[in-house]
Amino acid sequence: MDGAYLAEWANLLLRWLHVIAAMAWIGTSFYFMALDQSLRPPRDGDPLVRGEQWAVHGGGFYLKRKFWAGPGFLPEKLHWSKWEAYWTWISGFALFVLIYYGQASTYLIDPDVMDLSPWQAIGLSLGLILLAWVVYDLICRSPIGQDGVAMAVAGVAGLALAAWIATSLFSGRGAYLQVGAMIGTLMAANVLMVIIPGQKKMVAAIAAGREVDPRWGAFGKQRSVHNNYMTLPVVFLMLSPHYPMFWQHERAWLLLVAMALAGALVRQFFNLRHRGITAYDFWVLGATVVVLVAVFIAPPRRAETTAAAPAVTFAEVQQIMQARCVECNMPRPTNPAFASPPKGVLLHTPAQIRRQAASWAQQVRTEAMPPNNSTGLTEEERAKLLAWVAAGAKLD
């Protein structure tokens, strides 16, 4: 078995694990945020209890209670929520390394943006991930971190700076995943470096009969809330490789910030809803941002056919495909970056070229194909391909 085939299996299995772990982590985040916002004063007036929630699910009733600083004793069995976070990061970063570091020349580097060697690109990527955590952690521990509004402003500004730097260094697709890796690392590091250590200190204090320092819980709550607002933006970035209309745009960094902000606004709507506050303005504002982005990036109609322009023959199209596309889009690609044709698009026979016309035309139109224009598809060739599709994709 060759390396490309094994890499394809690794890609599949890591992606599968990543999605499963992310579902578990995000589900946990959503659940506990909703639970915290839904707590009501305890019916028995227990001064140790911050709030409680009665719920019905799965054919039974549940009573969930949150204590201010522990219940006064150490439960024999204590459930922890951490491995879903760890495995989401481990699988996601492994996938990032496999695709974007292992095939840096194809996915991470765009010579038209910055002509980097693979090791330079990988070094910059790792450095930015580490720097993002250091700066974020320092801000959280500063007075800014104690002010929700100030922290939100700092977060948006930091995201904009990260997006601008990433799109100035890497390919559009690589930049979006780079920012996604940075945000995902912040979220996982929040769990590993702040939330879990604080909870361990609380458990140790209860076991030793000491008073629990409320700051430990407050620090964990702060980072948990941050993680909750980062979930929808990071999910968008996970999906972004499939949508070149964003990362191929000349204002790709701004589009990234706008879509992330839309996700955070929608998350705010649901968080308030759990508290019994229906603030549709946040939902409407988030949806409005998405609509404005859609209008902003809508491509102008190309003059793909004109009365004066000569008709493009299939022979011309097939010649362009053979020179620019077939190395990737054939049953066994000759391009070493692929073990199978991307998205299953085959362009090695006339019938396949015609049958897949709508699919590959969109990739050509958005300039996502070839990846980073690695085969040198010219504007004239691109126009011919699109003109042929617009004229009905006929085999002459």
**pTM (2 d.p.):** 0.83
Measuring CA to CA, how many Å separate 286 from each of 233, 263, 266?
Answer: 12, 7, 6
What is the spatial distance between Cα 339 and Cα 335, in angstroms, rounded to a whole number?
8
> pLDDT tens-digit profile of 177-199?
999 999 999 999 999 999 999 98
CB 386 within 8 A of CB 365: yes
> pLDDT tens-digit profile of 238-270?
999 888 889 989 999 999 999 999 999 999 999
Taking 60 as the threshold, does the pLDDT of residue 352 lie above it?
yes
How many other C-beta atoms lie within 10 A of the C-beta of residue 219? Answer: 20
Buried b (16+ CB within 10 A) or exposed e, 368-382: bbbbbbbeebeeebb
**305: confidence class by pLDDT, cuts 50, 70, 90:** very low
What is the spatial distance between Cα 327 and Cα 345, in angstroms, rounded to a whole number?
12
**306: confidence class by pLDDT, cuts 50, 70, 90:** very low
DSSP state at residue 300: P
